[in-house]
Structure 1
Amino acid sequence: MFSSACFQAAPVFRGKAKAERQGYVNDMRSETLKMLYDYKPSASAQLSEAVGYAVFSNINSNLLLLSTGSGYGVVHDNQSGEDTYMRMASAGIGIGLGIKDFRAVIVFDNRRTLDSFIENGWDFTGQADAAAKSGDKGGELLSGTVNTDLGITVYQFTENGLVAQATLQGTKYWIDKKLN
């Protein structure tokens, strides 16, 4: 079970045409925002007042000392109305075991941070969590962090998975040239 899942390749999009693949990402965004608004209704106003926001889906796996992940998402600029489709990959070291499918919503409070995220897209974080969810079983985890220096708020949902980890992880976000 772990051998194929822990070293997961890039996520598989539904559809072959660009518009179909964008639709797949947009559907993920709609589902994730609905989950966020169900858990935290005030987030709707926060996102509409923000400069922009990003929604990502990621599969992260941990096997002993190695943590890897890959995913996709979209950044929405509230001022221009434009969407920028992006990819992500992460790698880290630390103690852990398990697989986690999660969604993240990143809210940008200022233009500089939004533009920097799209252009540079690098994040380096320390992370410790424990989550258990499989289908409708277990508790769905919603966590939120605020970084006032950068002007962002991050909400993270555990979609499916079982994980116990403490890692130092680097995540790279970049523009998906095939979807833009």
Structure 2
Amino acid sequence: MQRRQVLITVPSLLLAATARAEADKTAKQSEIRQKAMQTLQDFYKSDASLKDEVSKAAGFAVFTTYGLSFGLGGAGGKGLAHDNKSKKDTFMNVGQASAGLQIGASDTRYLFIFQDAKSLSDFIEHGWEASANASAGAGTGTSAANAGAGGGNVSGGKMFALTKAGLQAGGAVGGLKAWKDKDLN
């Protein structure tokens, strides 16, 4: 009789653990979507013409990163890539590393706008890497300002950056990489 109870309890525990993991995944996805929409609004406040660009584009990606630097720097965060045609979101991670004459801590937002479906698909499937150099940014949490970090061209689109809070200053060589979040997709 005890053996039968154990056999019934184990599948029940596995089912409960699976349901909990799915609920956690859904909650994390919801949190990232909310941050992404707020990030878009921050960019639109900074430059109203971006709203029109985003709506006409094949898709976009937005990320929020948090980082520290003192000679060597690093940042990481999460975000999503959105296909405007299919309305599908792909959850992604972003990481950044740098070295140089730099100091600071910041909450930085990135916006990528993709002009064609192939560029968006390549970004989602293969990630993206870039090098950076001198930049400065400051933000108070309610406003943002950037110098030298405000944007650039990426294959098939454009990239923009906003320092939401904190202070970063100096010159550095580094890289930024985005990739799919295998746990949230």
TM-score category of the 2 structures, normalised to the smaller one: 0.7 to 0.9
TM-score norm. by structure 2 comes to 0.80
RMSD over aligned CA atoms reads 1.8
Instruction: Give, in whole Å, the separation in 1 of the partners of 2:152 and 2:140.
Output: 28
Q: 1:115 — aligned with what?
A: 121
Q: 2:107 — aligned with what?
A: 101
Q: 2:144 — aligned with what?
A: 140
Cα deviation for residue 119 of structure 1 reads 1.4
**Unpaired segments ≥5 residues, structure 1:** 1-15
User: 1:144–1:153: 8 Å Cα contact kept in structure 2?
Assistant: no
Cα deviation for residue 48 of structure 1 reads 1.0
TM-score norm. by structure 1 comes to 0.82
2:177 to 166, 172, 176: 172
Q: What amino acid sits opposite 1:127 in the alignment?
A: N
Instruction: Give, in whole Å, the separation in 2 of the partners of 1:22 and 1:167.
Output: 33
Cα deviation for residue 151 of structure 1 reads 2.2
Q: What amino acid sits opposite 2:118 in the alignment?
A: R
Tell me the secondary structure at the aligned position of residue 85 of structure 2: coil
Instruction: Give, in whole Å, the separation in 1 of the partners of 2:140 and 2:168.
Output: 11
1:44 to 29, 48, 51: 51
Q: 1:4 — aligned with what?
A: none
1:127-159, Cα deviation, whole Å (9 max, x unpaired) = 2222233345xx611554242x72211121111
User: 2:138–2:164: 8 Å Cα contact kept in structure 1?
Assistant: no
User: 1:62–1:165: 8 Å Cα contact kept in structure 2?
Assistant: no
Instruction: Give, in whole Å, the separation in 2 of the partners of 1:83 and 1:150.
Output: 20
Tell me the secondary structure at the aligned position of residue 144 of structure 2: coil
Does 1:19 find its partner at 2:14? no
Q: What amino acid sits opposite 1:172 in the alignment?
A: K
Q: 2:67 — aligned with what?
A: 60
Does 1:162 find its partner at 2:143? no
Using the TM superposition, name which of 121-130 and 98-107 deviates more: 121-130
Cα deviation for residue 60 of structure 1 reads 2.2
Instruction: Give, in whole Å, the separation in 2 of the partners of 1:92 and 1:37.
Output: 28
Tell me the secondary structure at the aligned position of residue 87 of structure 2: coil
Q: What amino acid sits opposite 1:111 in the alignment?
A: A
> How many residues matched?
161
Q: 1:125 — aligned with what?
A: 131
Specify the structure having the higher radius of gyration (Cα).
Answer: 2
Cα deviation for residue 165 of structure 1 reads 2.3
- Cα 1:92–1:39 shift into 2, 3 Å: closer
Tell me the secondary structure at the aligned position of residue 151 of structure 2: strand
* Segments of 4+ moved more than 6 angstroms: none
**Unpaired segments ≥5 residues, structure 2:** 1-22
Identity percentage over the alignment?
A: 32
